[in-house]
């Protein structure tokens, strides 16, 4: 899944890519945010997170030695993914075991978040591409705040 994330509160935009491998219990979340690429690879079988970042988002790893130097493997129980807009739940949130989130849990969309369809959108807000606009609210424990979130799904 690929999408653009716009944070109106902090006035920033990110390009997000999510990959889910349910069979092997792995997920990858990468974002290009403020000129930096941040990548987290979640291994739910081993309960580890591999993280690295790069100041050269388009460069191959062999041409970006800094991304190799800051590669880190962390236990899920000790990992705090504060650099990325959306995260995954860890052992702290689920006392019995870690579990891969579904896409609606990761995006705070659908399911218990009660998203609702607002309208079709094709204006400047979607760069004149046809899309359906949905809206939901989500509470963020770490920020002690409720966010109104809008999703433009391509039609």
pTM, whole model, 2 decimals? 0.63
The span from the CA of 102 to the CA of 50, in Å, is: 20
Pick the closest to residue 53 from 73, 72, 39, 33 (CA basis): 39
Please give the residue range of the domain that contains residue 114.
Answer: 108-155
Paired strand residues for 147: 138
| Residues 19 and 94 both lie in one domain | yes
Paired strand residues for 72: 51
What pLDDT shows up at residue 101? 62
| Residues 10 and 64 both lie in one domain | yes
| Residues 112 and 97 both lie in one domain | no
**Cα dihedral value 32, 140, 106, 24, nearest 10:** 100
* DSSP string of 121-138, one letter each residue: E-SGGGTT--EEEEEEEE
Please tell me whether residue 104 adopts helix, strand or coil conformation. Answer: helix
Residues of the chain with pLDDT under 70: 57-68, 81-113, 155
């Amino acid at each position: 899944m690929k999408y653009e994330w716009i944070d109106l509160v902090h006035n920033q935009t990110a390009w997000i890519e999510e990959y889910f491998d349910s069979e092997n219990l792995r997920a990858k979340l990468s974002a290009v945010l403020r000129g930096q690429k941040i990548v987290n690879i979640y291994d739910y079988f081993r309960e580890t997170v591999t993280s690295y970042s790069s100041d050269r988002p388009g460069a191959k790893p062999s041409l970006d030695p800094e991304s190799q130097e800051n590669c880190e493997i962390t236990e899920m129980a000790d990992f705090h993914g504060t650099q990325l807009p959306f995260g995954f739940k860890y052992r702290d949130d689920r006392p019995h075991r870690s579990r891969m989130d579904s896409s609606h849990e990761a995006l705070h969309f659908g399911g218990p978040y009660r998203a609702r369809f607002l309208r079709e959108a094709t204006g400047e807000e979607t760069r004149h591409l046809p899309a359906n606009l949905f809206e939901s609210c989500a509470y963020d424990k770490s920020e002690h705040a409720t966010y109104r979130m809008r999703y433009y799904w391509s039609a």
